[in-house]
């Protein structure tokens, strides 16, 4: 009897570990709330000197007063598993960069450890600062300097070009950005699939826990795998989806069928949430602008 109980305990542990690795970890590594901005230049990675940060802040503040456009520079250590596109979009919305109604904001996001960067453009400036021009700034101003670890020069030169473009001046553009756009679209699609599976798991966990079957979860998981493979139009994805998601569903059903779920929610989720973040000082904040997802991404 002890051996059987020990085996069941290990089965429970293995099942929970698999659930954690496949579902919980990717979700917890998504966008991290940075808290309130400390200024137009926010260096959470500490790569700029005090003088460099002050010079950029003064330049962008002067431009803001003259043009009413808001340009934000945000430097972080890591994306923590998120995509640069999603992080930029979420941060832009959270801070409301640009004036409300005018949506005239621009965000330069730099992730040091991931060696990635993105220029995110507000609705109102997408005609002045196009995706192709953002790509040119990344490849001609930011990337060469970042490869030499000269972050300040790269950012400063990029700001000059962004200010020119948003002031009506014509700057060069890079028309060869289709490959990157397709990659961005795939990343967004993958995120949608991941979140769909995650929330479906939360919903089904309450149903499966009430059944005495240990196989129903496997059938449902295999069905989900078929759907994912069909949507992606890939035989390999279909086979992998059936085996991985179906197998995971089998484990989940077995675990839940032998583990009662209390009225509070589930065996994995308590009353907490995804809290945390950083807070800053006396900066008055941005104007409440929005982004339509325009811009460009790159790496160095």
pLDDT beyond 90 at 121: yes
Give me 285's structure tokens. Answer: 């904040």
Do the Cβ atoms of 89 and 293 come closer than 8 Å?
Answer: yes
For residues 23 and 12, give the distance between their C-alpha atoms in angstroms, rounded to a whole number: 16
For residue 64, what is the domain's CATH number?
A: 3.10.310.50
User: 73-87, 175-189, 204-218, 246-260: which has the highest mean pLDDT?
Assistant: 73-87
Domain contains 88: yes
pLDDT above 70 coverage of the chain, percent: 56
Specify the residue for token string 């005239």.
Answer: 104
For residues 241 and 227, give the distance between their C-alpha atoms in angstroms, rounded to a whole number: 9
17-72 pLDDT tens trace: 444 444 444 444 466 788 999 999 999 999 999 999 999 999 999 999 999 999 99
Domain count, the chain: 1
Neighbours of 38 (CB within 10 A): 18
**Averaged pLDDT of the chain:** 76
Q: Residue 143: which domain range?
A: 41-174+290-299
Domain contains 92: yes
As a whole number, mean pLDDT of residues 157-179 equals 83
Handedness of CA 13, 15, 17, 19 (dihedral sign): negative
Binned at pLDDT 50, 70 and 90, residue 291 comes out as confident
Domain contains 252: no
Domain contains 49: yes
Chain centre distance of CA 239: 28
**CA dist list (Å): 188 to 28, 85, 96, 171:** 17, 8, 21, 29
213-255 pLDDT tens trace: 556 666 676 776 676 666 655 677 667 666 776 677 667 666 6
Q: Strand order of the sheet with strand 41-43?
A: 41-43, 70-76, 105-111, 116-122, 291-299
**Termini Cα distance of the chain:** 59
Domain contains 140: yes
List, in sequence order, every residue forming a beta bridge with 109; answer none if it has no partner: 74, 118
pTM: 0.60
Binned at pLDDT 50, 70 and 90, residue 147 comes out as very high
Which DSSP symbol is given to 170? -
Domain contains 86: yes
DSSP string, 198-227: HHHHHHHHHHHTT---SSHHHHHHHHHHHH
Q: Which of the two residues, 87 and 222, has the higher pLDDT score? A: 87
For residues 173 and 135, give the distance between their C-alpha atoms in angstroms, rounded to a whole number: 7
Domain contains 211: no
> Residue 154's pLDDT is what?
98
Domain contains 196: no
């Amino acid at each position: 009897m002890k051996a059987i109980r020990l085996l069941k305990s290990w089965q429970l542990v293995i099942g929970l570990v698999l659930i954690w690795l496949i579902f919980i970890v990717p979700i917890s590594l998504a966008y991290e709330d940075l808290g309130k901005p400390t200024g137009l230049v926010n260096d959470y990675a500490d790569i700029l000197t005090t003088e460099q940060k002050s010079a950029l802040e003064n330049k962008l503040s002067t431009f803001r007063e003259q043009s009413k456009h808001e340009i934000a520079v945000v430097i972080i250590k890591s994306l923590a598993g998120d995509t640069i596109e999603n992080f930029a979009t979420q941060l832009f919305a959270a801070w409301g960069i640009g004036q409300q109604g005018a949506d005239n904001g621009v965000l330069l996001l730099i992730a040091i450890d991931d060696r990635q960067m993105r220029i995110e453009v507000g609705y109102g400036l997408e005609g002045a600062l196009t995706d192709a021009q953002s790509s040119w700034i990344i490849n001609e101003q930011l990337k060469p300097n970042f490869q030499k670890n000269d972050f300040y020069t790269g950012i400063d030169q990029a700001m000059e070009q962004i200010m020119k473009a948003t002031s009506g001046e014509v700057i060069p553009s890079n028309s060869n950005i289709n490959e990157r756009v397709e990659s961005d679209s795939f990343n967004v699609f993958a995120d949608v699939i991941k979140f769909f599976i995650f929330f479906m798991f939360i919903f089904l966990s309450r149903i499966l826990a009430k059944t005495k079957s240990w196989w129903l979860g496997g059938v449902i998981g295999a069905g989900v795998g078929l759907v994912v493979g069909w949507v992606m139009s890939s035989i390999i994805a279909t086979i992998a989806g059936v085996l991985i998601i179906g197998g995971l569903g089998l484990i989940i059903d077995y675990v839940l069928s032998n583990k009662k779920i209390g009225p509070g929610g589930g065996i994995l989720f308590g009353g907490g949430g995804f809290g945390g973040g950083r807070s800053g000082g006396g900066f008055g904040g941005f104007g409440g602008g929005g982004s339509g997802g325009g811009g460009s991404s790159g790496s160095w």
